[in-house]
Amino acid sequence: MEDSALLRYSRHLLLEPWGTEAQERLTRAHVLIVGVGGLGSPASLYLAAAGVGTLTLCDGDVVDLTNLQRQIALSSSDVGRLKVNATAERLQQLNPTIHIHTDPRRIAPEVWGERLGGVDLVLDCCDDFATRFALNQACRALGIPLVSGAVIRFSAQISVFDFRRKDTPCYACLYPPESRPEEERCALLGVFAPLAGTTGTLQAGEALKVLSGVGDPLVGRVLLLDGLSGEFRTVRLLRDPCCPVCGYGTSAGP
């Protein structure tokens, strides 16, 4: 590791357990961030600052004035630009030593699997169930860890589905087909900006833990955050034998 990298990442390198080996794992890693809105904006800043070697940002949206309340990688002068371009520029200013790719195409659910070649971890920061379920299925099929986050109004949740492990549940275990909630959009219902920041930042933390091998990621647990009461609680999530994605009747087997 070069002197400038030793200095840049010194406050992580000082951590026990962390060290140069964990940092070098981050340098070699490629993370795909799906959605660079309220969650992906803070998450991408922390992953870039921490030295994740390659980031790919996927988002087809153009920056709108309503985004600036919480999407902190953006500036007022970015209104009208592609969100991935504005975000990538900010991340590159923050850390010029990492590689950043942008993909502003809208990706059909059935082709997500083709987009995950060479990716070590996926951060689900999107805002629609079709993409969430498609990412879950593609990551499960390819054995890629998925860090899932969601926020609406004053509520948020985070979980990690580490498909390298046999015992991990998946996003479809959390939302079986018969109990899927209605889609809730922050454009209609609102979102508490600091809670989006907290949730995206915690997602980045879970991603760093999975990539570096340090700590105990939120696998088999869902962290629920209540921005109004300030209460965080964790609930267990077991792998569902009847899950259409990872249950006993699928190729994931018992």
Contact positions toward Zn ion, by CB under 5 A?
A: 170, 172-173, 243, 245-246
Using the minimum distance from each CB to Zn ion, give the nearer residue, 119 or 170. Answer: 170
**Which of 215, 221, 211 has the alpha carbon at shortest distance from 158?**
221
**Structure-token match 């992580």, residue found:** 12
User: Does 186 participate in catalysis according to the annotation?
Assistant: yes
Bridge partners, residue 79, by sequence? none
| 25/120 Cα distance (integer angstroms) | 11
Given the residues 125, 126, 186, 242, select the one marked as catalytic. 186
CB of 243 to Zn ion, least distance (A): 3
155 touches 225 (CB < 8 A): yes
Using the minimum distance from each CB to Zn ion, give the nearer residue, 150 or 246. Answer: 246
| 93/100 Cα distance (integer angstroms) | 11
Using the minimum distance from each CB to Zn ion, give the nearer residue, 100 or 134. Answer: 134
CB of 180 to Zn ion, least distance (A): 13
CB of 213 to Zn ion, least distance (A): 24
- The residue number whose beta carbon is nearest to Zn ion equals 243
**Which of 128, 121, 233 has the alpha carbon at shortest distance from 180?**
128
Catalytic residue set: 186
